[in-house]
Amino acid sequence: MTTEQVTEQLTGDALEAAVVHERLRERHAAAVMQTYGPAAMSFVRGQGTALFDGAGRAHLDFLSGLGVTSLGHAHPAVTVAATAQLRQLVHVSNLYLTEPAIELAEKLQQVTGWFDARTFFANCGATANEAAIKLARRHGLRQHAGKVRVVTLEGSFHGRTLATLEATGQPAKHTPFEPLAGFVDTVAFDDAAALRAAVTDDTCAVLLEVVQGEGGVRPVPDDVLVAARQACDAHGALLIVDEVQTGIGRTGAWFAFQQAPVTPDVITVAKALANGLPIGACIARGAAATALEPGEHATTFGGNPVTAAAALAVLRTIGEQGILDNVVARSAQIRDGVDAMIGVEPLVTGTRGRGLLLAVTLDAPVARQVEQACADRRLLVNAVAPDALRLAPPLVVSADEVSLALTAITEAVRAVAEAQA
């Protein structure tokens, strides 16, 4: 749709917002690589749980930038911390030390409960997972040559670099870049026996999510997690838990593994760690913590003092303000609200997930239509699967805001059902 077509079809605030968006879209198409599909909307400002479009209209954000802005937009504690650090020191590289990165690593020891942990700071989730895979390979190769294979789960998502792409259990994402290196063995996400069989003496790691985010907000069964831990112990491999989407309070604990029956050797975090500033971390305990030696891995921007200062502000705020309790309460409110729709409203069959990483499940592959119907009501959600709608609001979301979202979802499923009738 061109700007002229938008002008012909809309009026008022909707017209103003659409015109702003179309102008941005046209500029984007001419200057930015088209690695994403066409964006449906543009935003110019954020505050708390709201995003504002080009006409100044507020949209309730129940996606948090894919689980990133967990304290909401423009949170004052993060803004103050990052601004103060920007005025003091922005970058020195890893040739030198800075206080914020060291303090952040110490804080991560506290929230993981791993007081022997060591952290490698990366730039995002993919580079945190890349570091974890390299760490596991070094740990494996010190045992014997050829101990380099990694076992992952169908439906998983671990990143878009070549190594993390191969580890991602979604073959459609592999196809444009084949042949891949061939070091990953992928098994069904709910088959403990298949996982045990896949782990051999040549396996250096099992890499998995406790709740698959991009895989449809699917909790991995406990017996699979237990099988992974036992198989790793039996074969001298490392258990790596990808907490990029689940970590930093998203599931109601600091990390999803803390609600699971196993303890990993390595976890990776990113997304919510600095509430929108780019940071990732690979955190290892025990023997895994010393698997990488000087010169074996590096990154220019890892541990940047500005992003580290922002991350410290995030961790302090969550810890001091009882935000994990709010996650548990608002999760229960969403689940109860969706449960009340079952059998009353069309399409809705239930929820799955944990904390404030939830999916509303549907009885037909109409999640994209429901996503758009929610957007029409200025609620931002995501069709994470053809029959599942992802909800990942800021961890500070209020009871009133959850009620507004539930009302919008109710209206949206009704509208989609009526359009199909």
Residue with tokens 């009885």: 363
Instruction: Verify that 306 and 327 share a domain, yes or no.
Output: no
Q: φ, ψ for residue 277 (rounded to 5)?
A: -80, 145
Using CA atoms, how far apart are residues 35 and 172, in angstroms rounded to an integer?
A: 15
Instruction: Verify that 238 and 275 share a domain, yes or no.
Output: yes
Residue-level pLDDT at 421: 80
Q: End of a domain among 266, 296, 320?
A: 320
The set of residues, in sequence order, having a beta carbon less than 8 Å from that of 339 and lying 6+ positions away, is 350, 351
Instruction: Verify that 184 and 163 share a domain, yes or no.
Output: yes
Instruction: Verify that 114 and 198 share a domain, yes or no.
Output: yes
**Model confidence pLDDT, tens digit, residues 170-191:** 999 999 999 999 999 999 999 9
Instruction: Verify that 314 and 410 share a domain, yes or no.
Output: no
CA dihedral 34, 40, 41, 47 (to 10 degrees): -100
Residues 104 and 316: beta-carbon distance below 8 Å: no
Using CA atoms, how far apart are residues 197 and 186, in angstroms rounded to an integer?
A: 11
Residue-level pLDDT at 12: 67
Instruction: Verify that 372 and 407 share a domain, yes or no.
Output: yes
pTM for the full predicted model: 0.95
Residue 334 is assigned to a structural domain of this protein: yes
The residue type of 130 is: E
The set of residues, in sequence order, having a beta carbon less than 8 Å from that of 239 and lying 6+ positions away, is 205, 206, 228, 229, 232, 262, 264, 265, 266
Beta strands at 58-61 and 50-52: parallel, antiparallel or unpaired = antiparallel
- For the chain, give the percent of residues with pLDDT over 90: 91
Instruction: Verify that 52 and 122 share a domain, yes or no.
Output: no
Instruction: Verify that 254 and 352 share a domain, yes or no.
Output: no
Beta bridge partners of 383: 389
Q: What is the mean pLDDT of the chain?
A: 95
Tokens of 363: 């009885």
Residue 20 is assigned to a structural domain of this protein: no
For the segment 58-63, the average pLDDT, to the nearest whole number, is 98
Instruction: Verify that 81 and 114 share a domain, yes or no.
Output: yes
**Model confidence pLDDT, tens digit, residues 288-302:** 999 999 999 999 999
For the segment 396-419, the average pLDDT, to the nearest whole number, is 98
Residue-level pLDDT at 6: 36
Residue 36 is assigned to a structural domain of this protein: no
Tokens of 137: 């390979």
What is the secondary structure of 109-140 as a DSSP string? Answer: HHHHT-TT-EEEEESSHHHHHHHHHHHHHHHH
Residue-level pLDDT at 11: 52
- Give the chain's length: 421
Residue 213 is assigned to a structural domain of this protein: yes
SS3 272: helix
Q: End of a domain among 283, 303, 320?
A: 320
CA dihedral 284, 288, 289, 294 (to 10 degrees): -120
Residues 57 and 15: beta-carbon distance below 8 Å: no
For the segment 327-355, the average pLDDT, to the nearest whole number, is 98
The residue type of 153 is: L
Beta bridge partners of 51: 46, 59
Residue 409 is assigned to a structural domain of this protein: yes
Total number of domains in the chain: 2
Instruction: Verify that 398 and 289 share a domain, yes or no.
Output: no
Residues 219 and 250: beta-carbon distance below 8 Å: no
Residue 176 burial (C-beta neighbours within 10 Å; 0-12, 13-18, 19+): exposed
Q: Where are the alpha helices (DSSP H) in 124-257?
A: 125-141, 162-167, 171-174, 192-198, 222-235
Instruction: Verify that 142 and 177 share a domain, yes or no.
Output: yes
Look up the CATH number of the domain holding residue 153: 3.40.640.10
Residue 16 is assigned to a structural domain of this protein: no
Q: Which domain holds residue 55?
A: 43-74+322-420
Give CA 407 to chain center in angstroms: 26
Instruction: Verify that 277 and 346 share a domain, yes or no.
Output: no
**Model confidence pLDDT, tens digit, residues 111-157:** 999 999 999 999 999 999 999 999 999 999 999 999 999 999 999 99
Q: End of a domain among 304, 320, 336?
A: 320
Residue 326 is assigned to a structural domain of this protein: yes
The set of residues, in sequence order, having a beta carbon less than 8 Å from that of 406 and lying 6+ positions away, is 334, 337, 338
Per DSSP (E only), the strands in 293-374 are 348-354, 357-362
Q: Where are the alpha helices (DSSP H) in 32-124?
A: 64-67, 76-88, 99-112
Residue 141 is assigned to a structural domain of this protein: yes
Beta bridge partners of 282: 120, 268
Look up the CATH number of the domain holding residue 397: 3.90.1150.10
Q: Is the pLDDT of residue 270 over 80?
A: yes
CA atoms within 13 A on the CB side of 210: 28
